[in-house]
A and B are shown apart, each in its own frame.
Chain A
Amino acid sequence: MSVACPNGELVPASNSSGFAGRVCRPFLLNSQNSDGGWGFHPDCDNAVEPTCWALAALSSYANTNRDSSHEESVRRGLKWLCDAQLADGSWPAVPAQRVGCWITSAACLTLDAGGYAPHQVARGLQWLCDFWPAEGTAWWRLASKFRRKSSLVRQDASLRGWSWTQGAASWVEPTSAALLALNRSPAQSRRIAGAARRQSLGERMLYDRMCPGGGWNSGNPHVYGVAGVPRIGPTAWALLALRQYRARSENQMSLQWLQDSYGHIRGPLSLSLAHTCLTAYGKVMLPVGPALEAMYSTNQFLGSVASVAWAIMAVQTTPQSVAILFGPSGPSPMIQAANSDASADRPPR
Chain B
Amino acid sequence: MSFAVADLRPPFERPPSRVAIRPAVNYQADLANVLFETLREFALPVRGKTVLLKPNFVEHDPEFVINTHPAVVAAARESFLRLGAKTVLVAEGPANERDTEAILESIRLREFLGPLGRIFVDLNADGVELVPTRTRASKLKELYLPRSILLADFVVSMPKMKTHHWAGVTLSLKNMFGIVPGSCYGWPKNALHWAGLTRSILDINSTVRPDFAIVDGIVGMEGNGPIQGIPKPCGVLVLGDDPVAVDGTCARIMGLVPERIDYLSHAGLLLGHLQPAKILQLGETIETVRIPFAVTETFRDLQA
Contact = CB atoms under 8 A, between A and B. Distances in A.
Contact of B130 (A96, A169, A295): A96
B100 to A, nearest CB: 7
Interface in B79-125: 96-106, 110, 115-117, 120, 122, 125
Interface in A71-98: 93-94, 96-97
B97 A233 contact: yes
Nearest to A168: B190
A37 to B, nearest CB: 13
A168 B97 contact: no
Contacts of B298: 148-149, 152
Contact of B191 (A165, A265, A300): A165
Contacts of B115: 298-299
Nearest to B182: A164
A299 B224 contact: no
Given A97-B184, A171-B186, A302-B100, A266 B193 contact: no
B127 A44 contact: yes
Given A267-B100, A301-B101, A302-B101, A102 B186 contact: yes
Contact of A168 (B101, B144, B193): B193
B209 interface: no
B26 interface: no
B99 A299 contact: no
B190 A163 contact: yes
A161 B115 CA distance: 40
Nearest to B188: A218
A269 B101 contact: yes
A14 B179 CA distance: 38
Given A165-B191, A218-B187, A298-B110, A267 B165 contact: no
A168 B110 contact: no
A104 interface: no
B228 A164 contact: no
A93 B126 CA distance: 12
Contact of B165 (A93, A152, A231): A152
Interface in A206-247: 217-218, 223-224, 226, 231-233
A306 B127 CA distance: 14
A266 B110 CA distance: 13
Given A168-B193, A270-B102, A40 B187 contact: no
Interface in B210-241: 224, 228
Given A93-B183, A169-B194, A171-B186, A269 B165 contact: no
Contacts of A49: 183
A39 interface: yes
Nearest to B194: A168
Contacts of A304: 101, 122, 125
Contact of B190 (A165, A231, A233, A300): A165
Nearest to B223: A224
A265 B122 contact: no
A198 B144 CA distance: 30
B281 interface: no
Contacts of A164: 185-187, 190-191
A304 B188 CA distance: 19
Contact of B186 (A134, A174, A226, A269): A174
A303 B126 CA distance: 11
Contacts of A265: 102
A304 B125 CA distance: 8
Contacts of B36: none
A265 B100 CA distance: 12
Contact of B97 (A93, A163, A169, A231): A231
A220 B127 CA distance: 29
A164 B128 CA distance: 17
Contacts of A268: 99, 101
B275 interface: no
A112 interface: no
Contacts of A41: 125-126
Contact of A173 (B102, B117, B187): B187
B296 interface: yes
A267 B102 contact: yes
Interface in B133-167: 144, 165-166
Contacts of A269: 98-99, 101-102
Contact of A171 (B102, B104, B188): B188
B98 A233 contact: yes
A156 interface: no
A223 B117 contact: no
B128 A94 contact: yes
A11 B146 CA distance: 33
12 contacts: A45-B128, A49-B183, A231-B96, A231-B97, A267-B100, A267-B102, A267-B105, A269-B102, A298-B110, A299-B105, A299-B117, A300-B117
Across the A-B interface, give the 8 residue pairs with the lowest CB-CB distance, nearest first: A164-B186, A267-B102, A40-B125, A267-B99, A266-B105, A269-B99, A168-B190, A267-B101
Given A169-B193, A298-B115, 10 more contacts: A40-B122, A41-B126, A97-B144, A148-B298, A165-B184, A218-B188, A231-B96, A268-B99, A302-B100, A302-B116
